Amino acid sequence: MDILKVAMPKGRINKPAIKLIQEAGFPIPDDLDDSRKLIISAPGAQMEFIMAKPVDVPTYVEYGVADIGIVGKDVLMEENRDVYELLDLGIARCRMSVIGLPDWTPVMNPRVATKYPNLASDYFREKGQQVEVIKLNGSIELAPLIGLADRIVDMVETGRTLQENGLVEMEEIFQITSRLIANRVSFRMKNEAIQGLCDKLQSIIAVKG
Ligand code: PRP
């Protein structure tokens, strides 16, 4: 059987993704994200994990240095890489929303800060609204608080960050879950291994509802 190279995101998706793969019957270590090692082999599962920054997962998969990867729908939509989206894993659920201060009044050509400039531009273009998108790399909620932007487009999970900073969700753009993606060539060359993993994950997801 082929060894599958898996691009595994560090951070919030990591733990639920490990749990799901384990539940599907693949013996992989619990503590992938605790180690400083960047390539971790799990021979019992016939897998090798490439520990990646979430935003880079689709890039590793498109270039074929990873056969498959686990990535949030948010990153997948923003990066728009040439990969197969195989499965909705149903983990790390959250949403992409337009957020602002509660007393915000509409202005011409508002500034919108976000980590997702492509996604935000597409959203407002489709709505026929002209905005100026400002790319930031983190702590996006700061932008309306300090006057950098009128609104932000960002991920909301528990809502705690918004609440603690006095911000409100104005519009939900779409729901986010993590996806299993595959390199197009790997999907053909390692089809048995990839399909086997997909089937087992799918049964676990079905059981969990
Ligand atoms: C994400 C997102 C929000 C927060 C939402 O940030 O950008 O800031 O989580 O989660 P909550 O609704 O549960 O509060 P992340 O923790 O990835 O860090 P960042 O601000 O550096 O992007």
**Residue-wise pLDDT tens digits, 23-35:** 999 999 888 888 8
CATH 3.40.190.10 fits 94-175, yes or no: yes
Question: Is 109's C-beta closer than 6 angstroms to any atom of ligand 1?
Answer: no
Query: Is 160's C-beta closer than 6 angstroms to any atom of ligand 1?
Result: yes
Is 137 close to ligand 1, i.e. is its CB under 6 Å away? Answer: no
Same fold? 4-92+177-208, 94-175:
yes
Per CATH, the number for 4-92+177-208 is 3.40.190.10
What tokens appear for 38 in the block?
């960047």
Question: Could you tell me the pTM of the whole model?
Answer: 0.94
Task: Please give the number of the atom of ligand 1 that sits closest to the Cα of 139.
Answer: 20
Q: Whose CA is nearest to atom 5 of ligand 1?
A: 156
Query: Which pLDDT belongs to residue 106?
Result: 84
For residue 54, give both structure tokens: 């979430």
Mutate to test the pocket of ligand 1, among 155, 160, 165 (most ligand atoms within 8 A of CB): 155
Domain-by-domain residue ranges, the chain?
4-92+177-208, 94-175
* Residues 109-152: tens digit of each pLDDT: 999 999 999 999 999 999 999 999 999 999 999 999 999 999 99
